[in-house]
Structure 1
Amino acid sequence: MGEGFNYLFNPRSIAIIGATAREGSVGGVITRNLLTKFRGRVYLVNPSYTELLGHRVYRSVLEIPDEVDLAVIVTPAPTVPRIMSECAAKGVKVAVVISGGFSETGEDGARLEREVREASQGRVRILGPNCIGVYNAFNGLDTFFIPQGRMERPRAGPIALISQSGAVAAAILDWAARKGIGVGIAVNYGNKLDISEVELLEALAGNEDLRVVVMYVEGLKYPGEGRRLLEVMRRVTKVKPVIVYKAGRSKSSGRAVKSHTAALAGNYEIYRAMLRQAGAIEVNNLMDALEVAKALATQPLPRGNRVLIITDSGGAGVQAVDNVESVGLVVPELPQEVRSTLAKSLPPFASTANPIDLTGSATDAMYKFVLDTVLPTGHIDMALVLAQMQLPGMTPKLADYIIEARRFGKPIVVYGISANEDARAFKARLEEGGVPTYDRLETAANALRALYEYAVTRGLVRPR
């Protein structure tokens, strides 16, 4: 990670310019977030106060006696050029400009934005303006100004999120927290006066704590950005997977993009071709992006596109086949010698062709037997396990058997929609053990598709 971005994500010290204790205000939320959670030094700046929440307040960043790595600016837009000039004089490395009222509002705002750039003198890197900034679960850096009760923060995890929209970033982090999905770093870049998604992607790709990068992109802003993004994404996808949800696909939504962050949505088909060339994995919504990221963060890559399906319901098995094959994967019929081995230990009415239907007589031991028998063979490359905890022969112990099956080195994902106590314990144990669970078959199939696509990108298999 470049030095400038290390100061953005891992600063030693932060100055909150526009700090306040006022309840419900943007500055108030950020001030409390950083004072209570950030593991470095925090300095408060506001000429209207001398003390806030038991901390000294400085009139200007220039009065702070120590070095300041990161400035978080939460003041009206017209004041930002002057403040940026002071940050440059102080030697601040990076500034996060939360304030809105810049190029997203029209030409007057764009002019003010140019003044901010000039005031930085090329010495201060700028994130924003019109952004909510950075969330780093590893060190407590949190400039997201939505109160905790209205936006839950996810636990630290191996997923990174880069979002052009602040509201979208906040909503998806709240959703991830409630789903128990770990997000280590999230960043919203807003109008990208300086720092762009291209640089952020490159920086986060070098973070060893992060295994997958998810991007929400509305549009590019400057000439040549598309080529630069393609070049960087090609390099990054050779190291770790990149999942992209591109918004602004239609002509009407493209107009909305321009009014939102002053970006140009561009022709979606061009974006789509670019993402394909770069080896990125495209999804249709951000929920799927994070769900798919779970699989890419925890599972080995497959050596082919053949899927084993194990189920306790014939109807669910049929739906699983439909979903798996609709995304370009295959559900091969198992050879007779494997079926004969299975038939010796499974009930006579169980189907052994693939999907393997254990019926309502399913037990934990039956699932274990099928996994141990079929996964080591060369006939399948991944497994989709459908398991409802409503049947009398099934218990949360099944999670341990599935986790043990990871020793075969093939990706496994689990689907189940039951919500009883055993089902919740089953899913929680799987997630803790590094096996992703899903409550939609479509999402489970997309997770397997993403694993296969990334295996192709990494050159582990040839596309079929």
Structure 2
Amino acid sequence: MAPDAGLEPLLSPKSVALVGASPKQASVGYVILENLLNRFKGVAYFVNPKYDTVEIAGRQVKFYKSLSEIPEPVDLVVIAVPAQVVPQVLEEAGKRGVKAAVIISSGFAEVGNKDLEDEVKAIGKMYGIRILGPNCLGVYNAFNGLDTVFLPTDRAGRPPAGPLALISQSGAVAASIMDWAARRQIGLSIMVNYGNKADVDDVELLRYFGQDDRIKVITIYLEGFRYPREATGFLEVAKEVVKKKPIIAYKAGRTSAAQRAVRSHTAALAGSYEMYKGLFRQAGIIEASNIREMFDMAKALASQPLPRGRRVLVLTDSGGMGIQAVDSLESLGLEVPEVPESIRRDLKRELLPFSALGNPVDVTGSATDQHYKVVLEALLPTAFFDMALVITLMQVPGLTQNLAEYIIDAKRFKKPIAVVNFGGSELVQTFTKTLEEAEIPTYSTPDRAAKALWALYEYAKIRRVVRT
């Protein structure tokens, strides 16, 4: 289903005007200009009355004196000028028929300048302009190349297109997540940082991403709502969205000291953490305890089928890692049942005599690729197991790159698989890359893989697909 057209000019415009564009390197206006020149698939216009035509990175770039000089229609205006000038720019945009604005500029309610923010809101309402911000990074859209993030790409990487979206209340956190995702080639297609949310807020963004079929999982970094009615609206929309796709949220500002910091950060009220925890539970939102965990769970939810129950097969070549996996799984309420004796007898004929066949199934440090294949094909198709946590320490001499293909082949059993692969050798990196490209999520430690499988089970419960 295509998303609601109301936010299309903001998140997926065909034309953009940058007011405050600059040829001066390292400035906010330059970085956004460079982003739009290099990646935006639509038409970009640059506004600054100080310049005419300037050579930038070997290209002749035309600057307009004002928005009114631009000869063609403009869907989105990106505003990067001092706060006191923003109302004037916004009014000019309204007279031009611009439908959306990203206000990068800070100096509004977050520093106590509420009257100026109210003026901006009033102008937007008068002309029907949807406003993102102020005090924000704005939008990164890998699908169409829209990028209003004013941090250079060598310091804040841009992730590739993929199944994840991020809604973030903090700009710096959003940029750090983008950089982290880019370095790991995690497909984060759209990021929106809304800052003070003078107009567009988390609720509308959640609804928009819920309707976009390209997005499989929505991730949210949240500090706080300003008013109780925001929480109510958020709850109502989230309940509908989770019927179609998972939402994972990380709520910062859990302690009293952190709540004070939230109030001075984005003019939001942190509120009681218990209230947010209850809201997430009511909505069917999966809660993460940190950023890394949020994306560990997200990549499993984006790539794996939902399990029909909580029973996990643990397959390992390391007894110690297997024990850690069982501890983590059981502490999360998942089950690690014994392998039935009838299947053990069959496995004994094909595995090494000193292999442990209970669960974890430990094929030991003398394992070969074939041993893993035998276990997966014997156990994963059965009704005894709903998921598999596979630990592959590639330092074992009998393991090769072929093992990745055996694990990928096990996708045909249509049960979730998470792989633990620890180390930094070239073989480990190639092995991990092969699995990730085949949409098998990999993790460096058993507890992270266990939490990813737990998230799949939790969402299966929300979607009511688990056995009773």
Give TM class, smaller chain. Answer: over 0.9
1:83 aligns with: 89
2:297 aligns with: 292
- Describe the superposition over 1:317-367 as per-residue Cα deviations: whole angstroms up to 9, x where unpaired: 101101111111111111111111111111111011100000111110000
The question of 1:14 aligning with 2:20 is answered no
Offset at residue 251 of structure 1 (A): 1.0
Q: Using the alignment, how far apart are the partners of 1:287 and 1:62 within structure 2?
A: 45
The amino acid that maps onto 1:9 is: L
- Describe the superposition over 1:269-319 as per-residue Cα deviations: whole angstroms up to 9, x where unpaired: 111011011111000111111121110000000000110000001111101
Offset at residue 245 of structure 1 (A): 0.1
Among 39, 43, 46, the residue aligned to 1:44? 46
Q: Using the alignment, how far apart are the partners of 2:324 and 2:131 within structure 1?
A: 49
The amino acid that maps onto 1:61 is: L
Offset at residue 407 of structure 1 (A): 0.3
The question of 1:357 aligning with 2:371 is answered no
The amino acid that maps onto 1:110 is: K
The question of 1:115 aligning with 2:116 is answered no
Q: Per the alignment, in what secondary structure is the counterpart of residue 365 of structure 2?
A: helix
Q: Using the alignment, how far apart are the partners of 1:287 and 1:86 within structure 2?
A: 42
Q: Using the alignment, how far apart are the partners of 2:33 and 2:366 within structure 1?
A: 57
Structure 1 segment 25-64 matched on structure 2, within 5 A: 25-52=27-54, 53=56, 54-64=60-70
Q: Percent identity?
A: 53
Cα RMSD for the two superposed structures? 1.0
1:436 aligns with: 441
1:96 aligns with: 102
Offset at residue 223 of structure 1 (A): 3.8
Offset at residue 118 of structure 1 (A): 1.4
Q: Per the alignment, in what secondary structure is the counterpart of residue 366 of structure 1?
A: helix
* 4+ aligned runs moved over 4 Å, structure 1: none
Q: Per the alignment, in what secondary structure is the counterpart of residue 114 of structure 1?
A: helix
The amino acid that maps onto 1:202 is: R
Offset at residue 4 of structure 1 (A): 2.6
Q: Is the 8 A contact 2:15 2:75 kept in 1?
A: yes
Structure 1 segment 290-369 matched on structure 2, within 5 A: 290-369=295-374
Among 408, 414, 419, the residue aligned to 1:409? 414
The amino acid that maps onto 1:196 is: D
Offset at residue 267 of structure 1 (A): 0.8
Q: Per the alignment, in what secondary structure is the counterpart of residue 361 of structure 1?
A: coil
Stretch moving more, 177-186 or 399-408: 177-186
Offset at residue 55 of structure 1 (A): 2.1
2:131 aligns with: 126
Offset at residue 462 of structure 1 (A): 5.3
Q: Using the alignment, how far apart are the partners of 1:224 and 1:427 within structure 2?
A: 45
Q: Is the 8 A contact 2:95 2:127 kept in 1?
A: no
Q: Using the alignment, how far apart are the partners of 1:68 and 1:420 within structure 2?
A: 50
Structure 1's unaligned 5+ residue stretches are none
The amino acid that maps onto 2:337 is: P
Stretch moving more, 160-169 or 221-230: 221-230
1:372 aligns with: 377
Q: Using the alignment, how far apart are the partners of 1:276 and 1:27 within structure 2?
A: 42
Q: Using the alignment, how far apart are the partners of 1:223 and 1:85 within structure 2?
A: 31
Q: Per the alignment, in what secondary structure is the counterpart of residue 101 of structure 1?
A: coil
Q: Is the 8 A contact 1:306 1:329 kept in 2?
A: yes
TM value normalised by structure 2 = 0.97
The amino acid that maps onto 1:79 is: V
Taking a change above 3 Å as real, the CA distance of residues 90 and 222 of structure 1, as seen in their structure-2 partners, is farther
Structure 2's unaligned 5+ residue stretches are none
In the alignment of these two chains, the number of paired residues is 461
Q: Using the alignment, how far apart are the partners of 1:91 and 1:221 within structure 2?
A: 30
- Describe the superposition over 1:155-199 as per-residue Cα deviations: whole angstroms up to 9, x where unpaired: 111000000000000001111111121111111000000000110
TM value normalised by structure 1 = 0.98
Q: Per the alignment, in what secondary structure is the counterpart of residue 224 of structure 2?
A: coil
- Describe the superposition over 1:429-453 as per-residue Cα deviations: whole angstroms up to 9, x where unpaired: 0001110000122211110010000
Q: Using the alignment, how far apart are the partners of 1:193 and 1:27 within structure 2?
A: 22
Offset at residue 122 of structure 1 (A): 4.8
Structure 1 segment 240-259 matched on structure 2, within 5 A: 240-259=245-264
Q: Is the 8 A contact 2:17 2:76 kept in 1?
A: yes
Q: Is the 8 A contact 2:17 2:78 kept in 1?
A: yes
